[in-house]
Amino acid sequence: MTPRCSRRAVLLALCGAGAAVPLSAQSSISAEELAALQEQSIELTREYIRIDTRNPPGNESRAVDFFARIFEAEGIEYESVESAPGRGNIWARLEGGDEPAVLLLHHSDVVPADPDHWTADPLGAEVIDELIYGRGALDTKALGILHLQAFLALHRSGRPLSRDVIFMATADEEAGGFFGAGWLVENRPDVFENVGYVLNEGGDGTVSGDRIEFGIEVTQKVPVWLRLVATGTPGHGSMPRAESAVTKLVRALDRLRQYQFEARILPAVDTYFKGIAGQSTDEWRDVFSNMEQAVQDPEVLARLQLANPFLAAITRNACSITRLEASDKINVVPPTATAEIDCRVLPDQDVDAFRAELGQVLNDPAIEIETIMAFTPAVSSTDTDVYRTLESVTRRRYEGAAVLPSVAAGFTDSHFFRDIGIHAYGYTPMAVPEGDAPRLHGNDERISVENVRRGTAIMLEIVERIATAPIP
């Protein structure tokens, strides 16, 4: 289908990149069928966004009902399970040959959204200027529909498959995945027997000016969520105490706020920076070409933090102070005060050593450090046919785009699968304007209808190439 390009920057960028999406020579569907699939993807994305799965509390069983109706209409067998009341997970399998199966994974829960700060209803999926507004548009309901459409197209085609293809929508990723992917890995390991690859969120396509860049996520910074508990002398608020729990905690947190963890460049990060150097501005080209040396200069790091917080984040460990709790009355000095901090450490970081360093930074034996959550690091290989397919198809569909292995600053459910030896790749076939990326988890989250159309065709080609033999 010829794209309908508006004057908005996002669509201009995509149209300038050649948004027409010709069918693969090996495609199992006609141009007319693809066009219908693309339009259906837009409507399904909007319908999915309207399903309230904000976490907390989740209510992902509503999403299970949505997919179950589709599978039943298509005559596809599926399984579903609730890890707790309302916390539903669903999967369906197309059976194929003996090659390791590929799992198309996304999470159905989304983060909360305050309608007072949105242009449109966060659950309305309204289309404004060819953009679909809604919580989950980027994270990850649109991606889930792209997976679904590729899965359904394979089913309808009846083509022999070289491997099983599994579609899966899980709960709770936004709170750690313990009622979703993590629960399934632990309680239903049979589902993942002979699964060799996972396609998941975590890799991004970004439009910046006339440049398009795709990162295929192969590892991620490790989340280490910690609770700091300070103890002190309680009493009445009319009698301030220099060593109260609150005072101790604030003093320690200010030390953490000012502390800069050592910057160091891992091999995967170095590959990524060198890959984007050629398309970077004169200011950054030489810097990115030699990041190991560049990060030794504090001024370079400060400039990078201002210019691109994501790139700065993958050069070092970091902590954000996100939650504070002390007295529940204004006139009471409490015996304890707590802070929760979201730390993300580089994939090779020893967590015990990191906690020890943090203790030195806080510099107060009266503050106890408790671990809320900490994952293990792992890296997926780029030397696989699946990775090469993601890379080659993306390069062909987005001519001139940089396509590189990347390290995610955030975390996804992929670590559950890397922990059990399954290659997991964070990948989306949609290129989002650089200015829209912060809307993920922010206000006015949105995706263009053209991205959904284009992404449908690209995801179908990728899954066909991975899972089917060439058409004679």
Shared domain for 151 and 182, answered yes or no, is: yes
Q: Residue 298 is part of a domain; what is its CATH number?
A: 3.30.70.360
Q: Domain for residue 458, yes or no?
A: yes
Q: Domain for residue 140, yes or no?
A: yes
* Confidence class for position 369, pLDDT limits 50, 70, 90: very high
* Confidence class for position 241, pLDDT limits 50, 70, 90: confident
For residue 340, list its beta bridge partners. 227, 323
Average of per-residue pLDDT values in the chain: 92
Q: Residue 61 is part of a domain; what is its CATH number?
A: 3.40.630.10
Number of C-alpha atoms within 13 angstroms, CB side, residue 261? 23
Using a pLDDT cut of 90, give the percent of the chain over it: 86
| Separation between Cα atoms, residue 325 and residue 207, nearest integer Å | 40
Stretch 177-190: mean pLDDT: 98
Q: Domain for residue 197, yes or no?
A: yes
Q: How much is the pLDDT for 21? A: 55
**How many structural domains are present in the chain?**
2
- pLDDT of 472 above 60: no
| Separation between Cα atoms, residue 91 and residue 260, nearest integer Å | 43
Shared domain for 105 and 72, answered yes or no, is: yes
Shared domain for 357 and 244, answered yes or no, is: yes
Boundary of a domain, candidates 374, 396, 429: 374
Q: How much is the pLDDT for 456? A: 98
Using a pLDDT cut of 70, give the percent of the chain over it: 94
Among 16-20, 134-138, 194-198, 345-349, where is mean pLDDT lowest?
16-20
Give the tens place of pLDDT for each residue, 101-141: 999 999 999 999 999 999 999 999 999 999 999 999 999 99
| Separation between Cα atoms, residue 397 and residue 394, nearest integer Å | 5
Boundary of a domain, candidates 374, 396, 421: 374
- pLDDT of 222 above 50: yes
Shared domain for 361 and 421, answered yes or no, is: no
Q: Domain for residue 388, yes or no?
A: no
User: Domain limits at 255?
Assistant: 221-374
Whether pTM exceeds 0.85 = yes
* Confidence class for position 24, pLDDT limits 50, 70, 90: low
Boundary of a domain, candidates 347, 374, 401: 374
Q: How much is the pLDDT for 18? A: 39
Element (H, E) at 402: strand 402-408
Interacting residues of 194 by C-beta distance below 8 A, sequence separation 6+: 100, 101, 164
Shared domain for 180 and 247, answered yes or no, is: no
